[in-house]
């Protein structure tokens, strides 16, 4: 077989892909020009070395003779003779199609002279150089290249639009980030101000508490002496009033006796008037009767010594409970003594309060302390004096404000260090949501928020919350892309928690292209966003237009 191929070799060489020995050397068919120096023979030896085993030297005539002479297959760049050799062994990636007018590309060795025109890779038809089965693959690179350049131009315009949108997002992100930084400065200033206020209010409260404690101490010391003087005066008043009560009682008794005598006299005179005979013309009797009638006419209808008057006056004279109004104000002193609790640590206040209450109850039971009088007002702040309570409340409020500001500062600092993508571009898209219908569901995702699945009935399923970014390979466009991760969604029945991963491609608009459940309760979104056009900008225009060709060649 090898001899037959050698006989036909001059025919293969006649197309200009390789010239006979002795003439100027030509690039072997299927070889990338970048590797020409590896195969160019010296003028003296007319040999070449196998690429991965250079100790093996072969005559130049064995190149592309449709027979594997090199263990790595590097002697057959233009035939399928070494197609059986693994790509991990063969240093050549395939048959090189120059595709003039378009972009060069490699085609696998097993597709050389297979009777199929592989225009998507080899638009010049050079992979079918033998015309097996009469197949002819004319060069279509000009036509295909023109279409490819048109498509590349459209992609370029699309990417340029996306890059412009990306730059605007970056500008906005810089502004938003600056706002966060400014807020950090402002909140830091507020924290310092509140810290100063807290110290100031603490000092004011301590001063007031010290003054109140001093007052309590003085009251406690002076209480007994003041109460003693007051009690002596009260005891004297009680004695004098008791004497007056006794005399007044005797007076009331005498008045009652006289009243009874008067009643008897009035009864006699009344009988006398009713029974005397005016015809006797006794002037003395007439004068007595007239005087009696004048007495009755002048007499008041209400007798001050009748009815309930005497009983009421007597009752008032003997009321003893009213003396408590003049008793020393034990409650005032007790209140000040109870105020000591305000100066104790919280864990001791309850214990001391219970002990003081128990002591007071015992003193009242033994008559050593007056019972508490009912309070007319319920506005008391308890055992803490009102002005102390107000200062305490002010301090508590200020400390609460300080705590809130510290929490706000922590959130702002966390926001500043959070991963928002390259140049913090995703800051500009925070809470921007995109949705699209796919099958019987509508899918949505919100940047830095959550992903959701909605059914036609309006029900909603939580697919996950934003947890960060990743870089993954997109099989469809054959390149690595930015992926937004949404995780810890609603748990599937008898399955894992739902999650969604949004594969982003560069475009000027936010749009969902497709959604698929790649695994149970794992959803793959394919979407576009200007936020990832920074990757294209980094590649430059050559990367935009030539990206697909580079993947084919490399």
SS (H, E, C) 382-438: CCCCHHHHHHHHHHHHHHHHHHHHHHHHHHHHHHHHCCCCHHHHHHHHCCCEEEEEE
Helical residues (DSSP H) of 106-140, grouped into ranges: none
Residue 381, classed as helix, strand or coil, is coil
CB contact at 8 A, 249 and 314: yes
HSE at residue 534, side-chain half, CA atoms within 13 A, is 15
pLDDT for the residue 254? 74
**Residue 483 near residue 501 (C-beta atoms within 8 A):** yes
Query: What Å distances lie between residue 272 and 159, 279, 294, 296, CA to CA?
Result: 139, 15, 15, 14
* Tokens encoding 400: 């609460």
pLDDT for residue 536: 67
Cα(134)–Cα(132) distance, rounded to whole angstroms?
5
Q: Which two tokens stand for residue 17?
A: 């892909």
How many C-alpha atoms does 338 have within 13 Å on its Cβ side?
19
Kindly state the DSSP code that residue 506 receives in the 8-state scheme: E
Gap between the Cα atoms of 19 and 79, Å rounded: 17
- Tens digit of pLDDT per residue, the chain (554 long)? 333 232 233 333 333 344 444 446 789 999 999 999 999 887 778 889 999 999 999 999 999 999 999 999 999 999 999 999 998 999 999 999 999 999 999 999 999 999 999 999 999 999 999 998 899 999 999 999 999 999 889 888 888 899 999 999 999 999 999 999 999 999 999 999 999 999 999 999 999 889 888 887 777 676 556 566 666 666 766 676 676 667 767 777 777 777 777 777 777 777 776 766 676 666 777 777 777 677 777 766 556 555 565 566 666 555 544 555 555 555 555 555 555 555 555 555 666 666 667 666 766 665 555 566 554 444 444 478 888 899 999 999 999 999 999 999 999 999 999 999 889 999 999 999 999 999 889 999 999 999 999 998 888 999 999 999 999 999 988 889 999 999 999 999 988 999 999 999 999 999 999 999 999 999 999 999 999 998 765 555 444 433 343 334 44
Q: How far apart are CA 306 and CA 475, in angstroms?
A: 119
CA separation, residue 289 to residues 14, 174, 268, 275, 326 (Å): 183, 123, 12, 11, 56
Q: Closest Cα partner for 448 from 428, 462, 463?
A: 428
- What pLDDT score does 305 carry? 56
Instruction: Determine contact, residues 83/111, Cβ cutoff 8 Å.
Output: no
Paired strand residues for 46: none
**Long-range pairs for 354-360: beta carbons < 8 A, 24 or more residues apart:** 360/334
Report whether 451 contacts 498 (CB < 8 A): no
Angle at 292 between CA 291 and CA 296, to 5 degrees: 115
| Tokens encoding 517 | 């459940």
CA distance 244 to 210: 49
Taking CA atoms, 528 is separated from 192, 275, 481, 508, in Å, by 45, 133, 11, 8
Tell which residue, 497, 502, 527, 412, has the closest CA to residue 448. Answer: 502
**What is the rounded CA–CA span in Å between residue 373 and residue 327?**
11
Q: Distance (Å, rounded) from C-alpha 268 to C-alpha 72?
A: 164
d(CA 448, CA 502): 12
**Top-level CATH class of 422-553?**
mainly beta
Three-state DSSP at 79 gives coil
Position 310 scores a pLDDT of 58
Neighbours of 35 (CB within 10 A): 17
**Radius of gyration of the CA atoms of the chain, in A:** 57
Give the closest residue to 443 by CA, choosing from 508, 533, 531, 527.
Answer: 527
As a whole number of angstroms, the distance between CA 479 and CA 351 comes to: 73
How many other CB atoms are found less than 10 A from the CB of residue 197? 17
From residue 324, alpha-carbon distances to 223, 231, 239, 243, 244 in Å are 18, 12, 16, 20, 20
Domain ranges for the chain = 1-139, 147-365, 422-553
């Amino acid at each position: 077989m090898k001899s037959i191929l050698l006989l036909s070799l001059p025919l293969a060489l006649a197309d200009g892909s390789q010239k006979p020995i002795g003439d100027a050397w030509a690039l072997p068919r299927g070889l990338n020009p970048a590797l020409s120096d590896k195969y160019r023979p010296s003028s003296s030896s007319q040999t070449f070395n196998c690429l991965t085993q250079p100790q093996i030297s072969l005559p130049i005539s064995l190149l592309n003779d449709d027979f594997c002479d090199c263990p790595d297959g590097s002697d057959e760049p233009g035939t399928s003779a070494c197609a059986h050799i693994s790509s991990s062994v063969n240093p050549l990636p395939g048959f090189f199609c120059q595709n003039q007018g378009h972009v060069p590309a490699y085609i696998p060795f097993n597709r050389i002279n297979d009777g199929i025109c592989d225009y998507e890779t080899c638009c010049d038809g050079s992979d079918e150089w033998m015309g097996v089965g009469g197949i002819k693959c004319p060069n279509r690179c000009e036509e295909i290249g023109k279409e490819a350049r048109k498509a590349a131009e459209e992609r370029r315009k699309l990417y340029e639009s996306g890059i412009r949108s990306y730059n605007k997002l970056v500008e906005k992100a810089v502004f938003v980030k600056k706002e966060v930084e400014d807020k950090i400065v402002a909140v830091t200033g507020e924290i310092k101000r509140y810290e100063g206020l807290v110290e100031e209010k603490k000092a004011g409260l301590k001063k007031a508490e010290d003054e109140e404690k001093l007052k309590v101490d003085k009251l406690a010391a002076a209480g007994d002496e003041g109460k003693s003087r007051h009690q002596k005066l009260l005891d004297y008043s009680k004695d004098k009033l008791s004497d007056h009560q006794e005399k007044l009682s005797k007076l009331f008794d005498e008045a009652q006796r006289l009243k009874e005598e008067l009643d008897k006299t009035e009864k006699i005179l009344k009988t006398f008037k009713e029974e005397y005979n005016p015809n006797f013309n006794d002037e003395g009797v007439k004068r007595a009767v007239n005087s009696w009638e004048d007495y009755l006419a002048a007499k008041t209808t209400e007798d001050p010594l009748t009815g309930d008057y005497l009983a009421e006056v007597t009752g008032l004279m003997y009321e003893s409970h009213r003396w408590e109004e003049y008793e020393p104000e034990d409650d005032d002193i007790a209140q000040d003594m109870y105020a000591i609790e305000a100066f104790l640590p919280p864990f001791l206040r309850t214990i001391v309060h219970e002990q003081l209450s128990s002591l007071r109850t015992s003193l009242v039971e033994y008559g050593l302390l007056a019972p508490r009088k009912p309070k007319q007002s319920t506005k008391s702040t308890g055992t803490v004096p009102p002005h102390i309570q107000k200062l305490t409340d002010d301090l508590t409020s200020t400390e609460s404000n300080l705590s809130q500001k510290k929490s706000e500062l922590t959130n702002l600092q966390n926001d500043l260090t959070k991963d928002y993508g390259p140049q913090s571009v995703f800051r500009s898209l925070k809470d921007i949501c995109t949705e699209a219908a796919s099958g019987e569901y509508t899918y949505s995702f919100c940047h830095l928020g959550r992903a959701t699945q909605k059914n036609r009935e309006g029900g909603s399923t939580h697919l996950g919350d934003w947890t960060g970014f990743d870089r993954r390979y997109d099989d469809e466009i054959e390149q690595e892309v930015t992926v937004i991760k949404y995780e810890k969604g609603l748990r599937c029945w008898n399955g894992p928690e739902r999650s969604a991963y949004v594969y982003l491609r560069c475009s000027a608009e936010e749009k969902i292209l497709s959604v698929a459940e790649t695994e149970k309760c794992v959803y793959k979104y394919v979407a576009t966003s200007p936020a990832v056009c920074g990757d294209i900008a980094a590649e430059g225009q050559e990367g935009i237009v030539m990206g697909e060709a580079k993947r084919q060649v490399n």
